[in-house]
Structure 1
Amino acid sequence: MLFFRIFSLSQMMMRFDGRLGFPGGFVDPRDASLEDGLNRELLEELGPYFNTLKVTEQDYKSSQAREMPQKGVTHFFAKELKVEEMETIEKEAFSAKDHGLEVMGLIRVPLYTLRDGFGGLPAFLSNNFIGNSKSQLIFGLRTLRLVREEHIQDAIWSSQNIQF
């Protein structure tokens, strides 16, 4: 079983089950490649703009075997987008086939921490994520150097030491 996700700059989605994740899905027998399957899923979940923005082999970042909830391999892709492209995706996502069914909406990942040490990225990391989406998010932030390592470490620590 092959499964893939896309990391687009700093955007995730709220899923139908209330968990955060990346757009993606299963490879279908009609898909000629991982990238074809991913582009099909992006079109279904994020809308028609992905007819012009194609994910390619160059966007591949990593793979991870998983045992639960079912055996499979998750392939992680990252595509850097311009702010205008991200805004277009956010607007057109409402017309996506799966909007309101699988995808409840898009969410921008805060790439900052507020002065209180918790607001922003640390609070975001305390949310409920599907599968290995949280580890993939952190991997993407690190490898794309979107956030300095010490800020990532502080955010992880703060998200695990919440005091309500």
Structure 2
Amino acid sequence: MKSEMSPDDLPIPEIPKCLQTRTVTKTIMSFADAKEYHRYRQAAHACIWAPQEGSSNFGELRAAVMMHLRFDGTFGFPGGLINSGEDIVDGLNREMAEEIGWSPTEHPVTWSDYYNTQVEHNKNLLLHFFIKKITLDQFTALEKMCPTAPEYGDEVLGSVRVPLYTMGNMYSGLPAFLNNRFVGTAKQQLLLAVHHVKILTEVEINEVMYKSNNLKLGPNRI
């Protein structure tokens, strides 16, 4: 598939104040600027999400957001390295098909889903991040497809829905989830994504980060 548009003219997305840490702001650049790094490898990942109303026994649902447990024990988003000469969105759709059973012909990721680019100079690597909205029915069907993907059980050890609520003890749920190990910038990308699509407000993200950092040593958070 060929891209119908280019992100060259898109500005760097707004970063909420609570996420304006040096590790985030230092590495984010426009796609046009990233093209100057000709010898850097490229990777692309996508946050797949679906609106979801209602609540569970544990909190308000708001949305379904997919991440997965990787082979190295960290959480990340589907995607991976782009082959030399391969179109970025083609490579991303290919990686997602291999990892989670994604069907590019049914609902492909395109440049209209592009969010930002980050650079890791120490690895000579450009990281392109996309945010793809699908319906909840499509999301549920994708979850069922994940175990049939070629890389399932090898590179990918399981898909998860991110808990987007905070339970009554003020720690369980999203604050606790954020204390897992994440690959690369995946934790930052998760928070940027839920802010960008208005799942959580900046105030809510700030509160979640505070609880995640300061309440994790509580005596019993179950």
Calculate the TM-score normalised by the size of structure 2.
0.70
Letter in 2 for 1:85: Q
Matched, 1:29 2:84: yes
Q: Measure, in 2, the Cα distance between the counterparts of 1:108 and 1:123.
A: 14
Letter in 1 for 2:46: I
**Match for residue 118 of structure 2?**
64
SS in 2 for 1:29: coil
Calculate the TM-score normalised by the size of structure 1.
0.94
Structure 2 residue corresponding to 1:54, chosen from 108, 124, 142: 108
Letter in 2 for 1:29: S
Q: Measure, in 2, the Cα distance between the counterparts of 1:48 and 1:130.
A: 21
- What is the CA deviation profile of residues 99-130 of structure 1, one whole-angstrom value per residue up to 9, with x for unaligned ones? 00000011101111111111111011111000
Shift of 1:50: 4.0
SS in 2 for 1:86: helix
**Match for residue 18 of structure 1?**
73
**Match for residue 22 of structure 2?**
none
Shift of 1:51: 3.8
Q: Measure, in 2, the Cα distance between the counterparts of 1:153 and 1:95.
A: 37
- Tell me how large the CA RMSD over aligned residues is: 1.2
Q: Measure, in 2, the Cα distance between the counterparts of 1:106 and 1:49.
A: 16
The higher radius of gyration belongs to: 2
Q: Measure, in 1, the Cα distance between the counterparts of 2:108 and 2:163.
A: 25
Gaps of 5+ in 1: none
Q: Measure, in 2, the Cα distance between the counterparts of 1:102 and 1:83.
A: 25
Matched, 1:106 2:159: yes
**Match for residue 40 of structure 1?**
94
Letter in 1 for 2:170: G
**Match for residue 148 of structure 1?**
201
Letter in 1 for 2:127: T
SS in 2 for 1:153: helix
Q: Relative to 1, partners in 2 of residues 1:5 and 1:48: Cα closer, same or farther, differing over 3 Å? A: closer
Q: Measure, in 2, the Cα distance between the counterparts of 1:58 and 1:150.
A: 27
- Higher helix content, 1 or 2: 1
Report how many aligned residue pairs link the two structures.
162
